[in-house]
Amino acid sequence: MIVKTLALALLGLAPGAALAHAFGEPVQLPMPYDMYILGCVLALLLSFALLALAGRRNAKASPVLALSLPIQANEWRRIQHVGAVLLLLALVFCVVAGLLGSRDSQRNINMTFFWIWFALGGAYLSMLIGPWYKHQHPWACLPLGHARVKYPAWLGHWPALLQFVGLVAIELFVHSNPRTLAVLIAAWLLFNGLGIWAFGATRWLQRGEPFAVLFRLFADCSPIRLHRPSHGRIRIRLTWPFARFHNTRIVHPAHVLFVFFLLASTAYDGLRETKVYFNVFWQDPLGLLTSWFGQHPMKIYPTVRPVFIAWEVFLLMVLPLVYLGLFAGFLALGRWVSRGKQSLWALVCVHTPSLVPIAVVYHLTHYYTLLFSQGLKIRGMVSDPFGWGWNIFGNAITGRLPWLPDMANIWASQVVLILLGHVAAVWLAHRHALRLERSPVHALLNQLPMLVLMVIFTSVGLWVLAQPLQG
């Protein structure tokens, strides 16, 4: 009963709500969800205890394995150039297919390629092999030259953040078709191409291009690092996953908000599919909408619908600030417990990278099934990319059949990913605290409130995940 009450109270804040509609039908769990929650909480507590006993021995991470690839540096550059050309051609083809092809998103290839294979697949590929997009972005093959204007410091990550917010809002609220997506892709390619032309690829990809910033967050989770010497073979280094975040610096407010928007938007996308979210507005339990419109909102749906859209947009914009406030509040509590002297903003900047593993695993558990349910349909779409009834490779129909893994296996993988993400977050936060605090004891005290926050997020997230919210 306590777990259920806590879950309902924190449903609007916990990022685990992003997992709420992972299943399309009720799933019979092999054991009560309370046991999953208890097991994950104990695992978090155990990992925290082990970190406390280890002290400063966890302050540094070294490569686990290093080896050389049988590829020369100049050959590697040619491979990257070819990859950039292919990506640019694929995106331009999506624009053409969207403008000339069918407006049915299930038949036109551009919706599946851009949203599933590029936006989702690109992020998860970065998580596996590292920062591929840094050298194979679609503008890498264009003769844009060097920077012509110095990038202003005040601009920071605002271009990337605003574009990312816009893309997420369009994906969530706009019932787009292949034609509107084609215009969106063309505008994105043109705008960021101009940014690279003006400020140079290095600076613009660091701060201005949304997918470069997004994919870099996922790439920092990868255990693979490539070293490209000016001469000689490519060297590959294997490290512990998430270890790179120990040295990640986030100092600009827009960069901080980018991380929190990634976390909150994924949470919100899950929350808006739940019965609780639906009932809070459309059932009007407090009678506010009924008093305003004179009738129950369900009876005048077309009239109330614009208000509901405005409400949804408002929540999407506010939730990142709510997460940031909650995070800052627990950091302030940790500073008070350990009697630290750092400013609250400095603590936010230092500890924000520790939230990225949580944001990444929630994003992964929330969306990775789309690669199977929708992404695999591209096998048939390549035979009929415009939706005109072609059958170039003979599998235009059969190639669109989805493949769905067993729901019990999905649930198990989500539980494991959530636990790993929170354990990684606790580990990173502890390492950051060791770097800031005067002693391991002070670092331990500093992290006690954050451990409580992680336990709450894990408990509520698993509780929401286990609910049969549809059916």
Q: Which helix (H) or strand (E) holds 68?
A: strand 65-72
DSSP letter string, 419-466: HHHHHHHHHHHHHHHHHHSSSHHHHHHHHHHHHHHHHHHHHHHHHHHT
- Same domain? For 136 and 89 the reply is yes
| Total number of domains in the chain | 2
Region 187-192: mean pLDDT is 97
Question: Is residue 251 situated within a structural domain?
Answer: no
Do residues 144 and 105 both lie within one domain? Answer: yes
Among residues 239, 261, 291, the one where a domain terminates is: 239
pLDDT above 70: percentage of residues in the chain: 84
Q: Please, how many CA atoms are within 13 Å of residue 124, restricted to the half-sphere of its CB?
A: 18
Q: Domain span at residue 342?
A: 2-61+274-388+395-465
Question: Cβ–Cβ contacts within 10 Å for residue 357, how many?
Answer: 25
Phi-psi region of 468 (alpha: psi -120 to 50; beta: other; left: phi over 0): beta
118 part of a folded domain:
yes
Q: How far apart are CA 67 and CA 140, in angstroms?
A: 27
Decide if 369 contacts 376 (C-beta within 8 A): no
CB-CB contact of 364 with 399 (8 Å): no
Which amino acid is present at 376? Answer: L
CB atoms within 10 A of CB 258: 26
Question: Do residues 75 and 91 both lie within one domain?
Answer: yes
Question: Does 47 have pLDDT greater than 90?
Answer: no
pLDDT band at 63 (very low <50, low <70, confident <90, very high): low
Residues 79 and 12 in one domain: no
Provide CB contacts within 8 A for 67, sequence distance 6+: 235, 236
**Rounded Cα–Cα distance for residues 8 and 183 (Å):** 41
Q: Is residue 259 part of a domain?
A: no
Same domain, 57 and 77: no
Task: Please indicate, yes or no, if residue 258 is contained in any of the structural domains.
Answer: no
Residue 202 is assigned to a structural domain of this protein: yes
Identify whether residues 111 and 232 lie together within a single domain: yes
178 assigned to some structural domain? yes
Q: Which of 77, 206, 226 is nearest to 141 (CA)?
A: 77
What confidence tier does 84 reach under pLDDT thresholds 50, 70, 90?
very high
Cα Rg, the chain, nearest whole Å? 23
Decide which of 239, 263, 284 is a domain's last residue. 239
What CA–CA distance (Å, rounded) separates 194 from 326? Answer: 38
Q: Compute the distance between CA of residue 388 and CA of residue 384 in angstroms, rounded to an integer.
A: 7
Q: pTM for this structure? A: 0.88
Residue 89 sits in the same domain as residue 223: yes
Gap between the Cα atoms of 264 and 324, Å rounded? 10
Residue 167 forms part of a structural domain = yes
Same-domain pairing of 231 and 282: no
Question: Tokens 């929650």 correspond to what residue?
Answer: 37
The token duo for 433 is: 């605290």
Q: Are residues 382 and 405 in the same domain?
A: yes
Q: Same domain for 405 and 439? A: yes
Beta strand ranges found along 146-243 (DSSP E): 224-227, 233-238
CA distance 268 to 172: 10
Give residue-wise pLDDT tens across range 165-174. Answer: 999 999 888 8
Closest CA to 456 of 52, 11, 21, 19: 11
Q: 381-426, pLDDT tens digit by residue?
A: 999 999 999 999 888 887 777 776 777 777 778 788 888 888 888 8
Name the band, by pLDDT with cuts 50, 70 and 90, for residue 438.
Answer: low
Final residue in a domain of this structure, among 212, 239, 266: 239
In a domain, 206, yes or no: yes
Q: Are residues 133 and 206 in the same domain?
A: yes
**Integer CA distances (angstroms), 360 to 216, 357, 365, 445, in order:** 11, 5, 9, 27
pLDDT of 17 higher than 70: no
Chain length of the chain = 471
Name which of 463, 468, 470 is nearest 33 in CA terms: 463
| d(C-alpha 91, C-alpha 223), whole Å | 29
pLDDT(205) > 90: yes
Is 27 in the same domain as 53?
yes
